[in-house]
Structure 1
Amino acid sequence: MTPRDIPDVLAPAQLGPITLRNRIIKAATFEAATPGALVSDDLIEYHRRPAAGGVGMTTVAYCAVAPEGRTEADQLWMRPEAVPGLRRLTDAIHAEGAAASAQLGHAGPVANGASNGSSALGPSRQLNPLSMRTVHGATLHDIERIRLAHGNAARLAVESGFDAVEIHFGHNYFASSFLSPKINKRNDEYGGSLANRARLVRETARTVREAVGGKIAILAKLNMDDGVPGGFWLDEAVQVAQWLEEDGSLDAIELTVGSSLLNSMYLFKGDVPLREFAAVMREPVRTGMKLVGKHFLKSYPYQPLFMLEQARQIRAAVKMPLVLLGGVTDRAGMDTAMAEGFEFVAMARALLREPDLVNRIADDQGHRSLCIHCNKCMPTIFTGTRCVLAAPTLVH
């Protein structure tokens, strides 16, 4: 690209059938603000603030497509009962000039069966190391039901006023777990070869496209690698991204890494808040976290744009719009992403610290994020997701 060709990250941009006021997306971050699995005033305020703070679009997480697909019982799941609250949420976001996206997915083996009252489902039978409960292998009927549930959830998103949906194909949630040769031990048409392991991802994206057509934008969050030996890695991710592009079901892909089931810190980088995690856990998990938590929550050094090196290889392999996530916290990083050919950038932790970060950057290109990557926000997903260094803002 020549400097003249590099897009201005703060200028309006087209995403499928919608136009965003800029190229900055608030990434999905579980809010812990949906008691009764419904929208609350806290959830609305959680997304209104970054919308008022200048993002082009904010992503609501996590909108499960089925009740057993929640990570815990109070997580939002898409059903007619949720639509009035979701409409209040999208209206509030739109009133601030931003677009609203709903992250749709099924937690699969990451789901907490004890909390949900349902069995967790994955490609194959295994033990969930977090809950120490059995994950049951999904039947072909389960796979079909969950695939169709994504289409129904997308239709409800349209009814609720969302401008976009983001299908969750990352972090070893249901669809992502099928991609992983470490987790997927099936010997049918959904296991074995990469083409088989990617079948569910491709079928789900097609189902969502068939459900909503061009009414809203459709993105997917796709793992580039799980960060787990024997898991899904970049060479396979390149091929899956190419297949998704060929299918034409998506308007953009947001690239991510890590496994919520087996290696969650691979996504976040930075400090590991072991003490804070232990403090919010019940026994015996609390003691286990203190004793062996460092072996599960591994430490990875933080650096700006920490997914860029991997994402470049996806960028070189496809022409469709891509969203760069990971360590995007300032104008310099955003401009680098634009120069590297990424159409959008996404951020999460930095907006917990400063919901108005985008407006601050617009006013001062040299503004540096106040986020110190301590990751002490991570344990707050059990009590209301927030930056512990910032003043309380939710409206309990």
Structure 2
Amino acid sequence: MNDPRPDVFAPAKLGPVTLRNRVIKAATYEGLTRKGQVTDALIDFHVRHARGGVGMTTVAYCAVAPEGRTDPRQIYWRDEAMPGLRRLTDAVHDEGAAVQAQIGHAGPVANPKANGMPALAPSRHFHLTTQTFTKPATRADLDRIVEAHGRAGRMAAEAGFDAVEIHMGHNYLTSAFLSPKVNRRKDEYGGSLENRARLARDIGRAVRDAVGDRIAITAKLNMDDGVPGGFWIDEAVQVARWLEADGSVDALQMTAGSSLLNPMYLFKGDAPLREFAAVMKQPTRLGIKLVGRHFLKTYPYEDLYLLKDARQIRAAVKLPMILLGGVTDRVGMDTAMAEGFEFVAMARALLREPDLVNRIKADPATQSLCIHCNKCMTAIYGGTHCVLSTEPAWGSARA
């Protein structure tokens, strides 16, 4: 009765929304959409996580513009996608959970060959995976993308989502502008941190203006790109303060790494080089076999591996914060609560066991079966799942 920590399994407010508990299924691209449309398999995926006990599940990844997709199957916000999105949110709500949509623009991480449109970036950049150069975004491009984020937020509210998560990490477009490694512009969007953060702040305000207080707004913000000369924690502290001052977000989820330059930096654990090579086309497959170990590096895994850096953000802002990274058991959840984080986000552990939250609630000694082999990362091309599980968290990919 005298424990000052919030109970992770008690209801909690996130902006205007009350979640049934403080556990959020983090965004993990599901690979279950078809031609930009929701499938029954995608609904099954999120229903199973909702049924498994999370307070909120996150649909990833919903691009704000067609050229902002990393995969041509991905949802992008348009009228044709709305009926399927409404079916998805209704199904999750029927299980008692909330649901948020991750919105963003992949920028230099986008796949220009599959999209049939150039990938946009702050500056010209060669993308190893797609063997293409990016197109520096013009002011007109940026104005359009800011407006598209606002439209995405408004459509998410109309589709029944309880929240949107603005993707500001992993060197997707907003994160790429924040990074001095990727952003070499000389205009008002480059150079100083204030200039590099201009796009992030404009997007946050556009989404807030579009949705008001109808739904919650969270932001996934990088703390560290994982490369020399990239975005770093001291700059992330200031950007977090600016987002708080702008009143554009209800909570922050801190992340790390670069899908463009160092993708394994976020995940920690094994780097599944053989499995990545197997799902890639030539010449990328040969490149991974020859030099993949220099790009897909191995970082030792430990529980709560982002906590050390996230503490610095926690100390700098009063905004609610969501702790991501190695949350696998009740001990980790309670540690996050004791450290001042209002929510925790789980990803790989729930791919392994979608009902893990319910089982931890029933028995606090429950341990995750996830071994952090990261082979689930290579499963996105056929439907994201734990390759060690005998039962994926979705049914057949019915359209």
Aligned ranges for residues 365-384 of structure 1 at < 5 Å? 365-384=364-383
CA deviation vs aligned residue, 1:182-240 (integer Å, no higher than 9, x gap): 10011111100000000110110000000010000000000011001000000100010
Q: Which range moved further: 160-169 or 283-292? A: 283-292
CA distance in 1, matches of 2:245, 2:222: 18
Partner of 2:270: 271
- Check the 8 A contact 2:168/2:174 in 1, yes or no: yes
Task: Show the counterpart of 1:252.
Answer: 251
The equivalent residue for 1:22 is 21
How many Å apart are 1:283 and its aligned residue?
Answer: 1.3
In structure 2, distance between residues paired with 1:43 and 1:250: 27
Rounded Cα–Cα distance in structure 2 between residues aligned with 1:96 and 1:323: 22
**8 Å CA contact retained: 2:120, 2:137:** yes
Alignment: residue pair count: 395
User: Alpha-carbon deviations, 1:57-86, whole Å to 9, x = none?
Assistant: 000000000000000211111111000000
* SS at structure 1 position matched to 2:4: coil
The separation in 1 between residues aligned to 2:77 and 2:354, in whole angstroms, is 26
The root-mean-square deviation of aligned C-alpha atoms, in Å, is 0.9
Counterpart CA distance in 2 for 1:109 and 1:236 is 21
TM-aligned CA deviation for residue 135 of structure 1: 0.5
Tell me the SS of whatever aligns to 2:375. Answer: coil
Tell me, in whole angstroms, the C-alpha distance in 1 between the residues paired with 2:373 and 2:263. 15
Shift of 1:392: 3.2
Say whether the 8 Å CA contact 2:223–2:232 is kept in structure 1: yes
Mapping of residues 1-396 of structure 1, within 5 Å = 4-393=3-392, 394-396=394-396
TM-score scaled by length of structure 1: 0.99
Note the residue ranges of structure 2 that are not aligned, 5 or more in a row.
Answer: none
Amino acid in structure 1 at the alignment position of 2:302: Q
Q: CA deviation at 1:287?
A: 1.2
Equivalents in 1 of 2:158, 2:319: separation in Å? 27
Structure 1 residues 318-327 or 124-133, which shifts more? 124-133
SS in 1 for 2:153: helix
Query: Contact 2:45–2:395 at 8 Å: present in 1 too?
Result: no
The percentage of counterpart residues that share the same residue type is: 68
Name the aligned partner's letter for residue 58 of structure 1: T
Q: In 2, distance between residues paired with 1:227 and 1:312?
A: 18
- Encode CA deviations 1:291-334: one digit per residue, 9 max, x unaligned: 11101001100000000000000001011100000000000000
Distance 1:68 1:193 in 2: 27
Structure 1 gaps of 5+ residues are none
**When the two structures are superposed, what TM-score results if normalisation uses the length of structure 2?**
0.98
Q: Once the two structures are superposed, what CA deviation does each residue of 1:20-46 show, in whole Å capped at 9, x if it has no partner?
A: 000000000000001111100110011
Q: Match of 1:253, as an amino acid? A: L
Give, as a single letter, the amino acid of the residue that structure 2 aligns with 1:171. Answer: H
Cα separation, partners in 2 of 1:289 and 1:4, compared to 1, 3 Å: same
Structure 2 CA distance for aligned equivalents of residues 314 and 126 of structure 1? 30
What is the distance in 2 between the residues matched to 1:140 and 1:243? 22
Q: CA deviation at 1:3?
A: 5.4
Secondary structure of the 1:143 match is: helix
Cα distance in 2, alignment partners of residues 141 and 62 from structure 1 = 24
Q: CA deviation at 1:4?
A: 3.1
SS at match of 2:358: helix
Runs of 4+ in 1 over 4 A off after TM superposition: none
* Cα distance in 2 for residues equivalent to 1:48 and 1:257: 28
